[in-house]
Structure 1
């Protein structure tokens, strides 16, 4: 036993010192584990070349497989994840105006909180000039809040024409959001916004004050889309065909 301690103590002592430091923790574990497996300390130790070679090959193969797995399985911050997060936000925006499967405020906020966390992680993995996904997520959250407010101001007992215009406007908002994320400006949003204003005026059961507030909110959303599209033009990577966000 004293001889065993003398032989194994020095290298293991150095490795344990490395484990105590978070910076060198991985190196210390990477040395201690294979070292103990190969030596297999005990009272009845013997030296078997075949066993040591077999264990060494097994350890080397395991490390190589683990390395390749980490190389092949990229962390969840790639372009595919970013596209899914933006597309999911657009789908939730479209669901706000859906007649039968309308999303509520609590559900929308909960989903956006998780998306914002992932979008922030995505931004940290990108160069400084391409870190705009957190802003896109915050813009989507704000659009959802404004959309919920607008849809709440439109009377549920209103005419079918107004309800149809509101649903079409909401779908156009979701499509414009995805276009904005790709650095483009969707002119259909302004056209559907004008139809919504006309439908509110023709409905005859909405207060003038509410019509003016909704018209102002719609105009601010259009300016937001134009500003974001101009900012992201030439730098956005979400150039894949936009998915249909209709419910």
Structure 2
């Protein structure tokens, strides 16, 4: 039985205007990712990794080429439809956590489902916070949490809507080695338990080494790296 890719990219180019000139950020990107796979996207700063992640999320539209997420071509969707696809299908984890400071950990985790008008959010959010080891921190605000705890809240929030695809941009980038290791274990445990596809931009060799595949971005071009342990 063949499984359709959750991500399919073909002939992707992306350019931005810089004054009177056009700067090429991505060129000739072709990529397929199967459901449940874990993929590390590595490369030097400025090579285009975060730009590709943003395009896959539908936060921007590519200059040329096609992107399909779950069989839906992003180029055929308007901004509202792309936002709906993100809300229903994609979870995000960022290096800077992006928690709302006026909401508790529990409220931050509940927020994506609340915005969708879902029911039973409190119970699910409490379960996720327990899964990430924060059942005693549910009423704490972000300023009362350590960096590692804030990232755990962000991961719980990303899994709140049961996304098929998790896009993570340097999820261990602001964390010390020990805390980063805990976050790596957590991501892959949730990946196993929920069957969520992981696409992770990272400079963290330990994190990249845990992924089933490793893709190298160099000056806007993408290639698969083989022989990584």
More helix per residue: 1
TM-score bucket (shorter structure): under 0.3
Larger RCO of the pair (alpha carbons < 8 Å, separation 6+): 2
TM-score, scaled relative to structure 2: 0.27
Highest Rg: 1 or 2? 1
More strand per residue: 2
